Amino acid sequence: MPRTALPETESLLRRTLGDWRIALVAWRLLVLQNADPAVAAGAAQFSTYRAHPWRRMEHTMESGDRLFFSDPEGLRREIARLERTHRRIQGTDDQGRSFTAQDPAVQTWVLVTLYESMTAMRELSGDPMSASELDRLYAEFRAVCAEFAVPDELFPATAADVPGYVERTIRERLEYSEAVHDLLFQMLRQAPAPHRLGRLRPAWPLLRRVVARFVTALTLADLPPAFRERFDLRRTRSAAGLSWALHRGMRQLMTRLPDRLRYRVPLTGIPATRPSAAPPSDGTTDGAGATGRLPRPRHHRGKDTRRARVEAFFRQVLDQTGDGYVNAADLQAMAHNVCWQLDLDEQREAEVYAGFATWWEHIRTTMDTDGDDRVSLAEFTAATLAGIDRDPDYLHRGLHTALRALFRAADTDHSGHLGPDEYRVVFGSSRVHPAELNHGFRQLDADGDGRITEDEFVCAFTEYFTARTDTTAGTHLLGRP
């Protein structure tokens, strides 16, 4: 397909993809994509969707916005970033089959399912696109896809060919993977509270059961008939009724709203790059101040608290994939998240990955006692405590290398210091109270000048692991102990 101009601001593609109703078919899209064996294997071995589902979805949505709502420079920058990420996602699945995220057939499926989801959104709402609208949407969509290094012949030639391609792929290639089962029946029932839930967080254990049942029913009702037939997934009458009422009701509501409320992304597009130190959206104020009440600190009365801190670090920071172990994929996921948050260029991204790879090699060689290329909580805790007791340079040979790479990446203005916003970008997560982050920053900023040096940063982590009581500033790195 010859390259055509990228979609204009008011394109049908942007209006369709930017409509808030696209969220109704988002879970359906994830199920279809993860039914591809290579996508499922990559998710199982490299994805953080189990431990950090909301962060993973935010990254996916932001990546889509960069691809379809940016200017040409922003689009190509995001494609280059995705290609660098995908080069690292490869291996062998649990059936001994090799996989790579750079497989053109896999990339084609992932892209086409996005187009198919846009058309499904309209069909399910009772307002299917006309043949001319489908042709226009597909042409605009393919103009973006042409920027990827994927052979044109792998894509359906026309909009009319897409349904046949989807059905053939479902019947010939897709599998009911563990990732698909998790998405449909398990993940939301175990997911941590979204960090934007605010005062409703205590009610999340109850809310998530309701949300999980709702999303499962809607997704099963909305999946293509060929998919349900192949994998024997039942569409109940109640689920079909829910789908009918929700999609058509949202259509009636959203089409009456002004554009500023109807579209989740302004049709004028988004910036090609994000600010390096965006204002926090979690209720904190600029600098180190915060709204809300600090959680009450726990007092340990002189007890050696290193073990508790080391275990907390394993669970909150290291175990990115949420399987109870740390391996190379977890450290790679940490590097990926840092690079994503900071929107780094290729050179600085490579430095971060190299630093975390060095850290993993130190973990593997000093902690993997059974040689299975993964480290359990017990192995990590025992080896860390023993290592720092017998060797003053123990942390220097692994952790410090990653920390210095992390600091230099987070120092987005190249000032040689981290300000509070730079600190929050790296350490903020749904598992750490935002006020606690500010408290941790103030503890590290010993002279009160509103910034942290590289040596202070490294020293804080050293204190986090080595201090025997919680009175040392570094022990507050993840908030009050």
Q: Which of 167, 178, 185 is nearest to 40 (CA)?
A: 178
Determine the pLDDT at residue 50: 72
Taking residues 456-478, report their average pLDDT.
77
Q: In the block, which residue shows the tokens 């290609």? A: 83
Determine the pLDDT at residue 428: 63
Residue 173 has pLDDT above 60, yes or no: yes
Tokens of 333: 């996921």
Q: Model-level pTM greater than 0.75? A: no
Q: Is the dihedral of CA 62, 67, 70, 74 positive or negative?
A: positive
Name the most confidently modeled range: 48-52, 124-128, 316-320, 448-452: 124-128
Q: What is the mean pLDDT of the chain?
A: 84
Taking residues 353-360, report their average pLDDT.
94
Secondary structure of 263-300 in HEC code, one letter for each residue: ECCCCCCCCCCCCCCCCCCCCECCCCCECCCCCCCCCC
Choice among 2-6, 120-124, 304-308, 391-395 with the minimum mean pLDDT: 2-6
Collapsed DSSP state (helix, strand, coil) of residue 184: helix
Residue 355 has pLDDT above 60, yes or no: yes
Residue 277 has pLDDT above 90, yes or no: no
Q: pLDDT digit string (tens) for 398-457?
A: 999 999 999 999 898 889 998 888 887 777 654 556 666 777 777 777 777 888 889 888
Tell me the β-bridge partners of 92.
98
Burial of 131 (0-12, 13-18, 19+ CB in 10 A): exposed
Taking residues 194-218, report their average pLDDT.
87
Calpha distance 124→119 (Å, rounded): 9
Distance of CA 405 to the CA centre of its chain: 21
Choice among 93-107, 236-250, 303-317 with the minimum mean pLDDT: 303-317
Calpha distance 408→411 (Å, rounded): 5
Query: Which run of H or of E encompasses 306?
Result: helix 306-313
Residue predicted with more confidence, 53 or 168: 168
Tell me the β-bridge partners of 290.
284
Determine the pLDDT at residue 23: 93
Instruction: Judge whether 47 and 55 are in contact, CB under 8 Å.
Output: no
Calpha distance 112→20 (Å, rounded): 20
Q: Which of 14, 26, 453 is nearest to 270 (CA)?
A: 14
- pLDDT-derived band at 121, boundaries 50, 70, 90: very high
Residue 269 has pLDDT above 70, yes or no: no
Residue 237 has pLDDT above 90, yes or no: yes
Q: In the block, which residue shows the tokens 């692991």? A: 465
Choice among 54-58, 177-181, 298-302 with the minimum mean pLDDT: 298-302
Residue 293 has pLDDT above 60, yes or no: no
Determine the pLDDT at residue 302: 56
